[in-house]
Amino acid sequence: MARIKKKGESGQAKNFITRTQAVRKLQVSLPDFRKLCIWKGIYPREPRNKKKASKTSNAATTFYYTKDIQYLLHEPLLKKFREQKALEKKISKALGRGDAHDAQRLERNASRPEKTGKTKYTLDHVIRERYPTFIDALRDLDDCLSMLFLFANLPSTPTVPAKMIARCERLCLEFQHYLIVSNSLRKSFLSIKGIYYQATIQGQDILWLVPYRFNQRVTGDVDFRIMGTFVEFYQTLLGFVNFRLYTSIGLVYPPKFDKNRDDQGAELGAFSLEANGVGIIEQPKQITNGPSKPDPKLQAEIDKLMLQLNEPEKEPAAEQTVANDEEEEQPTDTIDKFEPVAPGGDILPQPSYSATDPSTLFSNFTFFLSRETPRQPIEFILRAFGCKRIGWDAVLGDGAYTHNELDPSITHQIVDRPPIQVDAESEKEVEDNQTAQRLKPGSRVPGRIYVQPQWIWDSVNDEELKRPDLYAPGAQLPPHLSPFVKKVRGQYDPSAPLNEQEREGEELEADIQEPKLLTEMEVDATAEGMDVAGSEDESGASDEEADNFAGFSDAEEEEEEEDEATAAAKQRQRELEAELSGVALKENDVDPRAKAKADARKKAAKKAKEEEEELERAKMMMSRKKRKILEKMVYSNKKKDAEAETLRAKRRKIEKSGKAAPRA
Amino acid sequence: MAPPTILRKRKAATRDVPESSDVESDAEFGDGLLEGILSQSEDSENDSAEEGSEEEEDEEEDDEELSGLDSDEIPSDEDEEMDDENGGLVKNNGTKADEKDSNVAQPAAEDDEDKPNYRVTTDANGGVRYEYDEIDPVYDSDDSDAPVTTNTIGNIPLSFYDSYPHIGYDINGKKIMRPAKGEALDALLDSIEVPKGWTGLTDPATGKPLNLSQEELEILRRIQANEVPEEGYDPYPATVEYFTGIEEVMPLSAAPEPKRRFLPSKHEAKRVMKIVRAIREGRILPYRPPEEREEEEDEEVHYDIWQDEQPRPEHVMNIPAPKMAPPGYDLSYNPPPEYLPTKAEKQAWESTDPEDREKEYLPTGYDSLRKVPAYDRFIKERFERSLDLYLAPRVRKNRLNIDPASLLPKLPRPEELKPFPTVCSTLFRGHEGRVRSLALDPSGTWLASGGDDGTVRVWEASTGRQIWSAKIGDEDAVDAVRWRPGREAVILSAAAGEDIYLIVPPIMDPETETISRELVDAGFGYATNATQPLTANGQRKDPVAKWARPGSRLEDEGVLLKITVRTTVKVISWHRRGDFFSTVSPTAQRSAVAIHTLSKHLTQIPFRRLPGLPQTVQFHPSRPLFFVATQRTIRSYDLQKQELVKIIQPGARWISSFDIHPGGDNLIVGSYDRRLLWHDLDLSTRPYKTMRFHQKAIRAVKYHKGGFPLFADASDDGSLQIFHGKVVGDMMENATIVPVKVLKGHKVKNALGVMDIDWHPREPWCVSAGADGTCRLWM
C-alpha cells in the first residue's frame, strides 16, 4: 500500500515559502535580502492555489519559490554581507569605547559604496549565473540601459553619489560608441516621456528610453537605495557587455577617455576608440576652419554640389521604381516582400526588409546643429546612421566637427526655432560684415537644407530621407509616429487613409450622429459604465437572476416591412390623387440622399439586431464558465474597437474641418 | 535627632540584660566568652577600618556598646546559619539554648568590669532615673538603616501637635519646644545675616529652619554632578591580581626560580633577526602610508565573462520579467491630431483618481521639439518598474488568443427550427376575472377554458367565437379544465371547488354526443354494487367521492356528472386511454391524490401517505407509470407492480408543474423559483439542463404532443417562452434545446401573468390563459 500523504508535506505547500520564512532561513536582514533578490534575479511567485501554499491565514503574503531560496543559501555574497555586518559592529563598538584609532583602522576595511562608489564585493559571478550566454544578457538589456541612462542624467545627491553618476555616464557613452561603430541602431522615437531607441545586436532587439536633458523631478516616494542596488548590478552587467561588444568588433575596451574634453562637454567626443590589433579606427578629424565668409563663386559651386546631392532625395520614388523595374527580371537572393493585395488576410511576420544600409543614410552629409537643438541625441543618432561630420554651435560643447555656422561644407542645418522675417537690408549688412561668424538670426546660408529635428527621426525610422520641405523651419510638422507599433488588422492606423479602415456605413452613421457627437459619446460612456456595473452585479447574483432572452423579433421586422409597405402605398395613393387632380406631384419631398442614408441606417440596424439575437441565443446555450470567458473577450474586443472608432471619428472630423497636417 | 531615639531603644533592649547576665553568666562562662571574643574582634576590626578619625574615648565606649549590641543580634543570625548548614557542629557551639544564653550573658560580663554608662538622677517625681549618655551611631550601626526620625513623636501625624507650642518630648520628659516664630524684624535680620548653611527652607519634621552643613552641601553637589556621594570613592579600583599581586607569606611552590627566567630567549632573538634581515634587505617596509591602498583600488577589471559560455536550458519554473511595452502613437511628442484628447476627455482624465487612470499620461502635442518639457513622472515610473522587477509576484497566464466567435456553440439556424408559434392570431375574450385553465380538445377544434367567474366556456379555436358556456361553480373558481383524450367521444372535465364535473357540451354531431353520454353514464350502478369498505367499528366507511348527477339545470346544459371529493381539486390529469383520470387536491392530507375510473364511477386513493404536498400528477404516455410531483421532488410509481420506481430531484424549491415528453424519456419541470428544468430520465435524477429565462415564477409547462419538437412555458411575467427541444432516438445523443421565441401579449394583473398553456394536437400552435381574462391562440 502506498504511503498516506500528509497535508503540507509535498506539492504547493512545500514549493512555496513566504518572505518572512525566507528571510529567517537565510538569516539576513530584510534590506540584505532585498539586495540579494535584486541581484540574483529572484522574484516572488503567485502560487496557483494560494490557499494550498500558505499554511496560515489567507492574508496577502508574498511567496517565493523554495528552491530559489535554497539556491540563495549558497551565495558567496551572503558571506560578504555577514562580514560587512560584523565589521560595522566592530566599528561601532570601537567608537563606543572611544577608541578612535581602532575605529579608523577598521573603517579603512569597510566599503562605503555610497561615498566611493566602490564595493568590496563584485557581482561578476552573479552576472555569469544569471546570463549563461551573451545573448541572454542582451535580451535583458532593456531595463539596464533605461536605468543607466536615467542615472547618467541625474544630479548627484547623498543617495546618488557623483561617482556612480559618472560611471553610468561613461558606460552609456561607451555603449553608444559601440552602436555608432557597428551601426546597429535601428529606430528611435521622440515621445513625451523621452527618446526611445531601438538597436538590434546579434539579432536581439533592445529598446530603451532616455530622458530629455532636464533636471528630473525627484519625488519623496522614490527609494534610491533600491534603485541604487539595481544600478550597481546593471553597471557590472553593462561593463561586461561593453567589453564583449568592443572586443567583438576588434576594439580595445575600455576606450581612452579624455578628461579635459569631457569637462568641456564633448560627451561622445571624449572617448577615442582604438583597434586592438589593426590600428586606430578612423575618427572624424577635427577640422578647425578659420572664419570664412560665403564666397559667391564658392557658393555657386556648393549650390551645384548640393543640387546633385539633393537630386536623389527629390526624386527618390521615381528612381527607385525605375531601378525596381530593371531588377524585376533578375533573380535575387533577398527575401521578397509580400504585400497583401486584398484586405482581410492575416499579416504574416516577415524579416525586416530594408532598402538602405543604415550606415549610409547620412554618410554624405555634413550637419550643423543650431544652438537650440538637443545636441546629444541628434549627434548620437546622426553618427549611428553614418554621418561623420557634425558641427554645432560652440555653446553646445566641445567635440564638434566645426563650430562655424558658415562652414561651406555644411549641407544640412537642424533648426528648431520659428523663422523670423528679416529685412533685405539687414541681410545685406550681414553679407557686408566680413568678420561675422555667426549669421543674424533668421537669415539663411544658401545651398543648405534647413530642417527641424523631427526630420532626422522620421528619416531614420522610414529608412529613407524624407522630403525636407515638410520639415522646414516654421512648417507644421507631419505627425511623428511610433515605429514600434505593430499593425494589427482592425486597429486604427493613423498612417493609412481613413476610408480603408472604416467599417461599412460608418461614415453615414457618423453623419447622422455628428450634430450631437459629444453628447452621444457621453451617453455611451455612462451606458457602458452601467453595463459594466451590471455585469459585476451579475457575477455575484447571477444565481438568482434570470437570464432573459429576447427571442426573435419577427414581429417587429414585419411591422417595419409593413411600415415600408404602407409608405409605398401612401406614395402611390398620393400619385394617383395627383393624377386625378391634374397637379404635378412635388418631387422634392423625398430627397434621394436622405433616403439612401435612412435605408443604410435601417439596414445596418436590422443586421445588427439579427446578429445580436443570434449571439444571445448561442450564449444562452453555453455553460456559465464559457460564457464568462466569452463575455470578457467580447468586452475587451469591444473596448478596442470603440477606441479605434473614436479615433476614426475624430480624424473624420478633423479632415472635414480641413485643419489636418500633411501626412508623410 | 538620632541620639535620643537610640537611647530609648537601648533602654528597652538592655532593660533585662543585667538580670539575665546575672542569672546565667556564671553557668557557662567559657563558651560565652569565646563567642564574645569572636564578635569583639570583628567589631574592632571594622571600627578601626572605618572610623579612624573619631576620638579615642568614644571609640572605647562605642566598642563596648557595640559589642553589646552586636552580640545581641549577630549571633542570632549566625545560629540560624549554623542550623541550616552544619547541625553537626554542636561541639563548637554547644546547644542552641546555651548559645543564646551566652550571647545575652556576654555584655553583662563586660559591663561588670566597666563603669556604668549612665548616671543616676532623680526624676520629676523624685524617683530614681537613669540618664544615659548620648550615643553617636557610627556608620555601621544598625540604627542607621532605620529611617531617621528627627523628632521624638514617633509614628504619629505631626498635625496632632498643631495646637501645642512644642513637638514631642525629649528623653528627660521635657517638652521640645517649637522655635519661637520670629517677628518680622527677626526675619529681616535673619535674611540680612545669612547664616552658614542657610537654605531658607523649613524642616517640616521639626518646624525649624533647615540648615545644611558644608559636608552636606558637598554631598548634594556630588549627587547633582552624578557622582558617588561619598568622597574619595573609586568606582573602578585597579584590580589586584591575587596570585601575582599578593606576595604570599607561604608560596605555593618552594622551587627556586628557574634559570630560563634570567636568560634571553634564543627563539625570540631568531625571529627578531629575521625581521631585521628582512627590513635590511627591503623585503618588508616598516611603514606604508595608507593612502596608497585606496588609490590602487580604483582600477577596474575588464575581462570577457562569456569566454566559455555554455547555453543552459531555462528552468521550467523560471518566468522572465515581461518587457516594457513599446510606446504607441499617443506617446509621440507630435501625435496625429486624433490622438489628442478632447476637452471632455481631458477633464475626465484629470478628474479620475491617479490610480484609476487607464493611462498615466495624457497625450500632448507640441509643434516643435524645443517645447517638449521633461516628463515629471520619469523617475517614478522607472522606480515602479524596478519594484515590479523584484517585488511583483509573477505567474504564467495563458491568454486565450482566439476569436470569441469560436467559443459560441453551433446552433441550428432559426429557419431550420421553424415552425413555431410567433404571433397571437386569436383572442378569446369573455371571462370575467382570471382564466385559470384551458385545454384544446383532441381534434384541435374546440378550446375549453375555466376561470375565476366559475364558468366553463368552449370556444371555437380558429375564430375565437364562444360556443357554449356553463356556470358550474357558484362561488368557486374553475381551477382545471381538461378534455378526455380520444377522438371517439368528446368529454370535458372541469374542477370547481370540491366538485369535478364531467361535461358533454352540446357542440358536436349527435352521434358523438350519444357516445359521449353513454361513456359518462356507463358507470352508474357500479358504485352501489361494489362492496363498501368497512371501518374498524363495522360501520360503512364514508366513500371517498360521491358520483352523482349535478342537477337538472346543469344537466340541461350538458353537465352530466358531478363527483364530489373532500377538498378543493386543483389539477385534473387524464390517462391516455380515457378511462382513468387523476385529480390532485393539495390541501387534503391523505386523499390528496385520487384516481377516478370513469367506467365504474369509482374513486380510489392510491397513497395513504405522501411526503410533502402533492402539486400535480401525470400518467406516463406509454407505460403504466404514474408521476406525482410534490413540492421538491417528482416520484414515479409503477401502477402494475405498485411500487416506487424513481425519485426525480429537479432541485427546484417549489415545483409548479411538469410535463412528460411524448417519447416518455424526458421531462420538463417548471418551478415557482423561475426555473425550467429538463430531465432526461435515462441519464440521471438531476436535471440535464436548467433554464432560467423568466423574471417571475413559471406556472405551466407543456410539450407539444403532435410531433413537433416544441415545448413552452408560461410565466407570471406575462410571457410565454417557446423552446425547440429535439429528442433524438439515439441513446448516445443528448437532447438539443434551443430557445426560439418569447411570446408577449398577456397583461400582468395582480402579479399574475399567464396561468395555463396548451398545445394544438397537430399544428405548431399554442393557446394560453391569462390572468387578464383572455385566452390567446399563438400561431
Q: Tens digit of pLDDT for each residue in A532-559?
A: 333 333 333 334 444 444 444 444 444 5
pLDDT at residue number B357: 87
Is A646 a domain residue?
Answer: yes
Determine which of A236-240, A424-428, A458-462, B596-600 has the lowest per-residue pLDDT on average.
Answer: A424-428
Residue B192 lies in a domain: yes
- Position B184 scores a pLDDT of 62
Per-residue model confidence (pLDDT) at position A299: 55
Q: pLDDT band at A73, cuts 50/70/90? A: very high
Count of CB atoms situated within 10 Å of the CB of A578: 13
Do A146 and B324 make contact, defined as CB atoms within 8 angstroms?
yes
B123 pLDDT band, cuts 50/70/90, is confident
As a whole number of angstroms, the distance between CA B691 and CA A401 comes to 81
For residues B592 and B606, give the distance between their C-alpha atoms in angstroms, rounded to a whole number. Answer: 9
Residue B297 and residue A118: Cβ atoms within 8 Å? yes
3-state secondary structure of B547: strand
Q: Is the pLDDT of residue A456 over 60?
A: yes
Which of A246, A279, A312 terminates a domain? The answer is: A279
Q: What is the pLDDT of residues B226-249, one digit of tens each?
A: 888 888 888 788 877 777 777 778
pLDDT score recorded for residue B536: 53
Query: Which residues in B lie closer than 8 A to residue A619 (C-beta atoms)?
Result: 408
Mean pLDDT lowest for which of A20-34, A330-344, A515-529, A599-613? Answer: A515-529
Cα distance from A199 to chain B (closest Cα, Å)? 13
Q: Are residues A493 and A627 in the same domain?
A: yes
Burial B239-262 (b: 16+ CB within 10 A, else e): eeeeeeeeeeeeeeeeeeeeeeee
- B84 has a pLDDT exceeding 60: no
Is residue B96 a part of any domain in this protein? Answer: no
Percent of chain B topping pLDDT 70: 77
Residues 6+ apart with CB under 8 A from A55: A8, A13
Average pLDDT, chain A: 77
Q: Under a CB-based contact definition with an 8 Å cutoff, are residues B444 and B761 in contact?
A: yes
Distance CA B448, CA B559 (A): 14
Chain-wide mean pLDDT for chain B? Answer: 78
- First and final CA of chain A: distance in angstroms? 76
Within-domain flag for A171: yes
> Same structural domain for residues A249 and A132?
yes
A389 and A458 together in one domain: yes
- Are the beta carbons of A447 and A303 closer than 8 angstroms? yes
Domain assignment present for A598: no
Q: Is the confidence at residue A129, as pLDDT, over 80?
A: yes
* Residues of chain B neighbouring A226 (CB-CB closer than 8 A): 383, 386-387, 390
Give the burial class of A202: count Cβ atoms within 10 A of its Cβ; 0-12 exposed, 13-18 middle, 19 or more buried.
exposed
At B717, is the secondary structure helix, strand, or coil?
Answer: coil
Find chain A residues with C-beta within 8 A of B370's C-beta: 372-373, 416-417
Residue A415 has pLDDT above 50, yes or no: yes
Nearest residue to B650 via CA among B671, B619, B666, B636: B671
d(CA A580, CA B583): 70
Question: How confident is the model over B346-353, as a mean pLDDT?
Answer: 91
Instruction: Check CB contact of B316 with chain A, cutoff 8 Å.
Output: no
Q: Which residue has the cell 395582480?
A: B750
Residue B396 pLDDT level (bands cut at 50, 70, 90): confident
- The answer on A170 and A98 residing in a single domain is no
pLDDT attached to residue B401: 74
Q: Tell me what percent of the residues of chain B surpass a pLDDT of 90.
A: 19
Sign of torsion, CA B367 B369 B373 B374? positive
Apex A325 CA angle, A320 and A327, nearest 5: 90
Name the residue range of residue A577's domain: 518-589
pLDDT score at A7: 79
Contact A222 B692 (CB under 8 A): no
Predicted confidence at residue B769, as pLDDT, reads 92
- Cβ A476–B367 below 8 Å, yes or no? yes
Query: In this predicted structure, what is the pLDDT of residue B67?
Result: 44
Cα-Cα-Cα-Cα dihedral of B510, B516, B522, B527, to 10°?
A: -130
Answer yes or no: is B620 within a domain. Answer: yes
Any domain includes A594? no
Calpha distance B681→B645 (Å, rounded): 11
Distance CA A68, CA A71 (A): 5
Cβ–Cβ under 8 Å, residues B489 and B512: yes
pLDDT over 70 (residue B591): yes
Q: Which residues is A451 bridged to in the sheet?
A: A414
Query: Would you say residue A165 has pLDDT above 70?
Result: yes
With a cut of 90, say whether residue A663 has pLDDT above it: no
Between helix A30-40 and helix A224-248 the angle, nearest 10°, is 30
B384 pLDDT tier (thresholds 50, 70, 90)? very high
**Chain A environment of B382 (Cβ under 8 Å):** 146-147, 150, 227
Strand ranges inside A232-358, DSSP E? 256-257, 271-272
Report strand pairing: B736-744 vs B593-597. Answer: unpaired
Whether residue A54 is found in the same domain as residue A176: no
Cell 579603512 sits on residue: A108
Same domain for A466 and A492: no
In a domain, B508, yes or no: yes
Which residues in chain A are closer than 8 Å to B740, comparing Cβ atoms? Answer: 551-552
Are A102 and A133 members of one domain?
no
Residues A606-611: what's their mean pLDDT? Answer: 87
Angle between helices A375-384 and A162-182 (to 10 degrees): 30
Between B67 and A139, name the one with better pLDDT: A139
Helices (H), A123-223: 124-130, 134-139, 141-152, 162-182
Is A467 domain-assigned? yes
pTM of the model: 0.56
Same domain, A534 and A630: no
Gyration radius (Cα) of chain A, Å: 35
Q: What are phi and psi of A419, to 5 degrees?
A: -70, 145
- For residue A176, name the pLDDT band (cuts at 50, 70, 90): very high
Residue A332 pLDDT > 90 = no
CB contact under 8 A, A190 and B695: no
pLDDT of residue B278: 93
- Tell me if B203 is assigned to some domain: yes
**For the purposes of burial, counting CB atoms within 10 Å of the CB of B576, is it exposed (0-12), middle (13-18) or buried (19 or more)?**
middle
Range with top average pLDDT, A111-120, A343-352, A610-619? A610-619
Chain-chain contact of B390 with A43 (C-beta, under 8 angstroms): yes
List CB contacts (< 8 A) between A244 and chain B. Answer: 304-306
Contact B36, B70 (CB under 8 A): no
pLDDT exceeds 70 at position A105: yes
The residue type of A233 is F
Most A CBs within 10 Å: which of B338, B396, B416, B778, as the mutation test of the A interface?
B338
pLDDT of residue A121: 84
A481:B336 CB<8 A = yes
Q: d(Cα B288, Cα B225) in Å, to the nearest integer?
A: 46
CA nearest A448: which of A355, A549, A370, A561?
Answer: A370
Residue B277's pLDDT band (boundaries 50, 70, 90)?
very high
B462: CB partners within 8 A, 6+ apart: B426, B445, B777
A47 backbone dihedrals φ, ψ, rounded to 5°: -65, 150
| b (16+ CB within 10 A) / e for B437-473 | bbbbbbebbbbbbbbbbbbbbbbebeebebebbbbbb
Cβ <8 Å between B324 and A618:
no
Domain assignment of residue A428, yes or no: no
Question: Per the domain annotation, does B665 fall within a domain?
Answer: yes
Of residues A352 and B597, the one with the higher pLDDT is: B597
The mean pLDDT value for B110-119 works out to: 62
Residue B343 lies in a domain: no
Distance from CA of A333 to the nearest CA of B (A): 31
**Per-residue pLDDT at B676 exceeds 80:** yes
Q: What is the pLDDT of residue B758?
A: 92
Across residues B86-105, what is the average pLDDT?
43
Least reliable range by pLDDT among A282-291, B261-270, B615-624:
A282-291
ipTM above 0.85, yes or no: no
Is A323 a member of any domain? no
Residues within 8 A of A (CB atoms), B 201-260 only: none
Rounded to an integer, the average pLDDT of B659-676 is: 90
Give the closest of B332, B342, B390 to A480, CB-based. B332
Interface test with A, best of B292, B382, B406 (most A CBs within 10 A): B382
What mean pLDDT is predicted for residues B182-189?
A: 67
Average pLDDT over residues B613-628: 91
Residue-number span of the structural domain to which B422 is assigned: 414-529+542-778
For residue B296, is pLDDT > 80?
no
My answer on whether A273 and A212 are in the same domain is yes
Q: pLDDT category, A322, cuts 50, 70, 90?
A: very low
The shortest CB-CB distance from A217 to any of B335, B376, B423 is to B376
What band does B420 get if pLDDT is binned at 50, 70 and 90? confident
From A81-95, B131-145, B467-481, the region with the lowest mean pLDDT: B131-145
Q: Residue A241's pLDDT band (boundaries 50, 70, 90)?
A: very high
In the A/B pair of chains, how many CB contacts fall below 8 A?
285
Average pLDDT value for residue range A159-169: 89
Which residues of chain A are within 8 Å of residue B373 when distances are taken between CB atoms?
212, 214
pLDDT of residue B180: 64
- B590 to chain A, any CB pair closer than 8 A? The answer is no
Q: Is B12 exposed, middle or buried (0-12, 13-18, 19+ CB in 10 A)?
A: exposed
Is there a contact between A548 and B373 if contact means CB atoms under 8 Å apart? no
Which is more confidently placed, B280 or A305? B280
Measured between beta carbons, which residues in chain A are less than 8 angstroms from residue B692?
A: 545-547
Q: How many distinct structural domains can be found in chain A?
A: 5
In a domain, A119, yes or no: no
The number of beta carbons lying within 10 Å of the beta carbon of residue B511 is: 9
Q: What is the pLDDT of residue B30?
A: 40
Same domain, A155 and A191: yes
User: What total of structural domains would you count in chain B?
Assistant: 2
Residue B26 confidence class, pLDDT cut points 50, 70, 90: very low
Q: Are residues A499 and A645 in the same domain?
A: yes
> In residues, how long is chain B?
779
CATH number for the domain spanning A366: value is: 3.40.50.10190
In a domain, B515, yes or no: yes
> Do A214 and A134 fall within a single domain?
yes
| Terminal-to-terminal C-alpha distance of chain B | 125
- Which pLDDT band holds residue A457 (cuts at 50, 70, 90)? very high
Give the gap in angstroms from C-alpha B413 to the nearest C-alpha of chain A: 9
A62, A78, A111 — which closes off a domain?
A111
Whether residue B652 is predicted with pLDDT greater than 80 in this model: the reply is: yes
Give the mean model confidence (pLDDT) for residues B313-322.
88
Smallest Cβ–Cβ distance between A230 and the set B367, B386, B400 belongs to B386
Tell me how far apart the alpha carbons of residues B486 and B579 are, in angstroms, rounded to a whole number: 10
| Beta carbons of B754 and B715 less than 8 angstroms apart | yes
